[in-house]
Amino acid sequence: MKRPPTYGMLAEFDSPTALVAAAHRTHEAGYQKIDAYSPFPVEGLAEAIGFHKNNVPLVVLIGGLIGGLSGYAMQYWISAVSYPLNVGGKPYHSWPAFIVVTFEMTILFAGLSAVFGMLALNGLPMPYHPVFNAPRFAFATKDRFFLIVFSSDPKYDGVRTRQFLESLTPKSISEVPS
């Protein structure tokens, strides 16, 4: 009988301190594609699993710049190119009059890019995740803490990864099918 492909190896822990210690040891052992699940935020866990990059600020900056430039360009095009109208001797390109709309477009585009960028970078919406197939993963929302080593990690080997996770003294270890 053919076995389904493995998504990773999941270890269950009783406390957040045990999870953070296990995550430190796992990352130091050379595993790079790991993740942790907890019912509440655990301080130091993101650093323990090696999560350091955050691209949302860059996405928001780019969105804000695009919004500001498009707001300014839209007003310039309307007042100086498409429909030039001389009102009270003002020049067609009167930049002080463009500041309010430019600012508001910057805020609008930055806010929208923050929402959609965060959703895209987190891979959301995700109604199904393979880790939901783990037998005891339902406790991740109650009082258990989980550490997974993904099978896509270059160092992943089913037998050796299980032996390594057993050395961390978890409550249980399970293989997560894809």
Q: Where are the domains of the chain?
A: 6-53+129-177, 56-121
Cα dihedral value 14, 16, 22, 28, nearest 10: 170
The whole-number pLDDT of residue 90 equals 85
Question: Encoding tokens for residue 111?
Answer: 């806010």
Nearest to 29, CA basis, from 173, 167, 176, 177: 167
Distance (Å, whole) CA 20 – CA 44: 7
Distance (Å, whole) CA 10 – CA 146: 7
Question: Encoding tokens for residue 121?
Answer: 């970078």
Distance (Å, whole) CA 36 – CA 48: 10
Residue pair 146/91 in contact (Cβ under 8 Å)? The answer is no
The whole-number pLDDT of residue 4 equals 67
The whole-number pLDDT of residue 54 equals 86
Give the up-direction half-sphere exposure of residue 138: CA atoms within 13 A in the CB hemisphere. 2
| Length, in residues, of the chain | 178
Q: What is the pTM of this model?
A: 0.75
Q: What are the two backbone dihedrals, phi and then psi, of residue 14, each rounded to the nearest 5 degrees? A: -85, -30
The whole-number pLDDT of residue 36 equals 95
Cα dihedral value 134, 136, 137, 141, nearest 10: 170
The whole-number pLDDT of residue 126 equals 86
Q: According to DSSP H, which parts of 14-54 are helical?
A: 16-28, 45-48
Residue pair 5/178 in contact (Cβ under 8 Å)? The answer is yes
Residue pair 126/13 in contact (Cβ under 8 Å)? The answer is no
Which pLDDT tens digits describe the chain residue by residue (178 residues)? 566 689 999 999 999 999 999 999 999 999 999 999 999 999 999 999 988 888 999 999 999 999 999 999 999 999 999 999 888 888 899 899 899 999 999 999 999 999 999 999 988 888 888 999 888 998 898 999 999 999 999 999 999 999 999 999 999 999 999 8
The whole-number pLDDT of residue 5 equals 85
